[in-house]
Amino acid sequence: MPIYEYRCEACKRRTSVFVRSISSPVRAACEHCGSKKLTRLISRVAVHRGSSSLDDDSAFDDIDEHDPRQMARLMRQMGEEAGEEMGPEFDEMVSRLEAGEDPESVMSGMDEGDDGDDDF
């Protein structure tokens, strides 16, 4: 059920119009002045994903930030719940943590490969 936004040509104010279904005809009028001369605006889109096990702060209560294996497990879970490929650097870092390597040495090792020249 979309909500369309319009700019009124008469009073220049924004108006939102709720539509019950995408196939329904839109009969929009300015909610401020009643004019039917409206220009449709491009609106932001919000997508609701299911709740995450990490939404609750208590998910972090039992994590020992000094235990690399626990940190790796948390990072893998966050990566999976993000629903996106995190990239080879992320995978390498998590693998090193899973092997029990000290988090500080993992992070400093990742920084050594950074020449400070951003490629984007």
28 in a structural domain: yes
116 in a structural domain: no
Domain containing residue 33:
3-41
Q: Tell me: do 76 and 105 sit in the same domain.
A: yes
What percent of the chain stands above pLDDT 70? Answer: 73
33 in a structural domain: yes
Amino acid identity, residue 61? D
In the prediction, which pLDDT does 62 show? Answer: 74
Q: What is the pTM of this model?
A: 0.44
Residue with structure tokens 């104010």? 13
* Residues 34-52: b if buried by 16+ CB within 10 A, e if exposed: eeeebeeeeeeeeeeeeee
117 in a structural domain: no
| Tens of pLDDT, residues 61-119 | 777 777 888 888 888 887 777 777 777 888 888 898 899 888 777 777 665 554 444 44
11 in a structural domain: yes
Helix (H) or strand (E) run with residue 49 in it: none
User: Number of folded domains in the chain?
Assistant: 2
Residue 68 class from Cβ within 10 Å (0-12 exposed, 13-18 middle, 19+ buried)? buried
